[in-house]
Amino acid sequence: MKKLLTIMLSLAMLFSMVACSGGNGGGGNTPSGGDTLDGTYDLTIWVSESDGVKELTQKQVDAFMAANPGIKINATIEGVTEADSATLMITDVESGADIFCFAQDQLARLVQAGALQVLGEQTTATVKQMNDSVSVGASTVNGQLYCFPLTSDNGYYMYYDTSVVKPEHLDSLEDIIADCEAANKLFSMELETSAWYNASFFFATGCVSEWQTDNAGNFTSVNDTFDSAAGVVALKGMQKLLKSPVYNSSSDISDFGKNSAVVVSGPWASADARNILGENYGATDLPSFTVDGKSYHMGSFSGNKLMGVKPQTDAKKAAVAQQLALYLTGEECQLQRFELKGWGPSNLKAQENEAVKNDVALNALAAQNEYAIPQGQIHGSWWNIATSYATSAKTATTDAELEEALHAYKAAIDGLFSLDGFIFVGAWCGWDNANKDFTMTQDNETYSITLDVPESDYMGGRIVTAGAWDTDKGCQQVTEGADLIQPYDAATNSDNNIIFLAPGNYTVTYNSTTGDITIAAN
């Protein structure tokens, strides 16, 4: 599923080529070692699907080629969300983009999948010199830089309609809710649908969820205190919004055009927020909430968006890809994205630009970052597990019910480190190789699971060793039930996935002695 690409040529050659590049890529097509990067290269680049970003990226690629006239790049630029790009890369590294953007919490799983080419010493030094220390840290695993900082704005705060929310109420969640209720307007914040946002209540009360990885990017342990008295206080604060008639579980800035007076989102939405709200545009840090007479300022995640380069079998192509990525994340390109979309630069010189320093949204982010938790590496399963307590809190009426929701959450977290045997993973659950619900039941050498395959654009799955991906079992091993799945075709299914022809309930059985897989429709 996640092929690791073998670098056929010397890494020393690659690093010497990449090291020649400067902060904006100009004049970098003649490496110090005498080799030339001149030539034509086909590169697939995944960038944000946000309006205008693909077109701007093409202009930036053209500018790179103008500065390096010996290099011709045939760029295929596609819009892919930062979350989806990581999942797609992990699913099939070989078929993934040569250059791709992603959120920093995906770094560990991308490293584990072999989807990122490490940076050489001189390129690392350049990146560290160009960018703020937080973004450099977000690009690093166990002391090694794996990618290029793209932004320092992957956080959130509150956009609001100044004609609805009174300025003296901006620091009180309860008062803001009351303003919305009085105006019959909605308060949009993802609580039941996003752990990224709902964690703000837990950080407010001092809770932490800190994950540790080994050198290969595998998660080894977690220090999580959500299941605690402080966690109960967090859920009580969350209930103030969850139980209000103005609550809307969304972070879509277009909600301002759909009767919302408040939307909790980030800098990527600033241009659209200004366009919709006009003279009523406002942005500030998140408010405080009060439980049992004590006030708690809502926290948040702070983080970065990053740009990675996939390992290549052609060292020259790898060098050009890294040189281009260095250019695309340089001062000039970061400022161009700020001007187009309001994205906050990680580049130190770009951060000193007057327009950046005076931006209302980025100032709101800076204010919120005083209460933010730097986003480290987080297990992919956490994002789904950590929405369950919000759903429970919406209907809970007692502290005992809130405690029960947090106990269930903690049990699911602990379960991530107790998997063994084999599991079945599916594209419809984000290729999550640690979802305990997909653990196969063992009977001597036979492992089986009954699962629902939902209607999906891609109904594919694999059997893998729990907690690892290096012993995948798939379509070619199906001996019974082959009529229920798409026949294996190396041209279209190089990763040997089991692709179901129709949604339904299936029992999948794997014999670890013979290697045979059988599939039955129920």
The series of mean pLDDT values per 10 residues for the chain, 522 residues long, is: 35 42 41 72 95 96 97 96 84 91 88 90 94 90 93 94 98 98 98 95 97 76 96 98 97 96 94 95 98 97 93 95 97 96 93 94 92 83 88 96 95 72 66 58 81 81 56 75 82 72 89 84 92
Q: Which helix (H) or strand (E) segment is 316 a member of?
A: helix 315-328
Predicted confidence at residue 312, as pLDDT, reads: 94
Instruction: Count CA atoms closer than 13 A to 266's CA, side-chain side.
Output: 19
Strands 517-521 and 478-480: parallel
Predicted confidence at residue 385, as pLDDT, reads: 87
Q: Which two tokens stand for residue 493?
A: 């299914």
CA distance 374 to 302: 5
Predicted confidence at residue 5, as pLDDT, reads: 37
Contacts of 484 (CB under 8 A, 6+ apart): 500, 501, 502, 506, 519, 521
Contacts of 245 (CB under 8 A, 6+ apart): 181
Predicted confidence at residue 194, as pLDDT, reads: 93
CATH number of this structure's domain 422-521: 2.60.40.10
Contacts of 351 (CB under 8 A, 6+ apart): 132, 152, 345, 357
Same fold, 11-153+304-352 and 157-300+380-414: yes
The residue ranges of every structural domain in the chain are 11-153+304-352, 157-300+380-414, 422-521
Contacts of 190 (CB under 8 A, 6+ apart): 196, 197, 198, 249, 250, 251, 264
CATH number of this structure's domain 157-300+380-414: 3.40.190.10
CA 121 to centroid of chain Cα atoms: 27
Predicted confidence at residue 467, as pLDDT, reads: 46
Predicted confidence at residue 495, as pLDDT, reads: 65
Q: 240 and 200 in contact (C-beta within 8 Å)?
A: no
CA distance 322 to 100: 11
Predicted confidence at residue 401, as pLDDT, reads: 97
Residue type, position 151, single letter:
T
Q: 376 and 360 in contact (C-beta within 8 Å)?
A: no
Q: Which helix (H) or strand (E) segment is 426 a member of?
A: strand 422-426
Residue showing tokens 């594209």:
427
CA distance 437 to 428: 13
Topology of 11-153+304-352 in CATH?
D-Maltodextrin-Binding Protein; domain 2 (3.40.190)
SS3 content of the chain, % helix, strand, coil (to 5): 40, 25, 35
Predicted confidence at residue 11, as pLDDT, reads: 39
Q: pTM above the 0.85 mark? A: no
User: Is 37 in a helix, a strand, or coil?
Assistant: coil
